[in-house]
Amino acid sequence: MTLAYETVSENRSFGGVQGVYRHQSQATGTPMTFAIYMPPAAEHGRVPVLWYLSGLTCTHENAMTKAGAQEWASEYGMAVIFPDTSPRGEGVADDEAYDLGQGAGFYVDATQAPWAPHFRMWHYITHELPELVFGNFALDRDAQGITGHSMGGHGALTIALTMPHVYRSVSAFAPIANPTESDWGRKQLSAYLGEDRAAWAGHDATLLMRERGYPREILIDQGSADQFLHLLKPEALAHAMTERRQPGTFRMQQGYDHSYFFVQTFMGDHMRWHAEQLA
């Protein structure tokens, strides 16, 4: 696996550096762009890292510019990684709908045509990109947390619930919580993984919560005025957490919608929480 990458841009931010980088991915067979904020503390040694997975239609840039993570990351001495949401480019399968194809990788490894050759986002996020960043940046591999918004919240929860030995903290903003029972899930999982619903179960946070839970606390924020509540199905995950007696906090935030105004409002809470969990 190559660890080579090129620098697209680097900007000073809150005493640290917000960088954007590009590399050739073996997992997706395409060039992939990602962003990392490195706090001032990284000048003196390895720092904890928070993975931020973005939602439908997003690239690495949305959360990097809209979530307001850099100020908090600087304060808590924590790096933040913003990967892309899917492979992109000529020859990569796509769909006319915004919720399938490029920009909508759903953090799975596709097994079905025409998606299988490039849509291997689970492997990319959990194996290939970590090898690159831990080999090239001052990051503490033993202090990793993961969070995300919407489709990215789905990815963060399913990855952490599957790999709790790697991700020592997990949170989510308005996650797609029960995709096997939602139109934001059944469509994509059947396209990427086929019609065997048993193959979907490992990519549904509600089912994973019922089956195995998470060995530490989790934090989830959901807006009560979210226009996609019927697709996100937060009540299914909340019920599964209660059934399992999962330690953690599930907050329904009065009047907030699905936008990045919601995310940036509570980003500080999540950054502080991850810093405490990873300390």
> Which residues are designated catalytic?
150, 226, 258
With beta carbons less than 8 A apart as the criterion, state whether 185 and 176 touch: yes
Cα-to-chain-centroid distance, residue 266: 16
**Distance separating alpha carbons of residues 6 and 25, to the nearest angstrom:** 12
Cα-Cα-Cα-Cα torsion 148, 129, 214, 158, nearest 10 degrees, comes to 60
With beta carbons less than 8 A apart as the criterion, state whether 49 and 80 touch: yes
**Distance separating alpha carbons of residues 230 and 168, to the nearest angstrom:** 30
Determine the Cα angle at 203 with ends 197 and 209, to 5°.
105
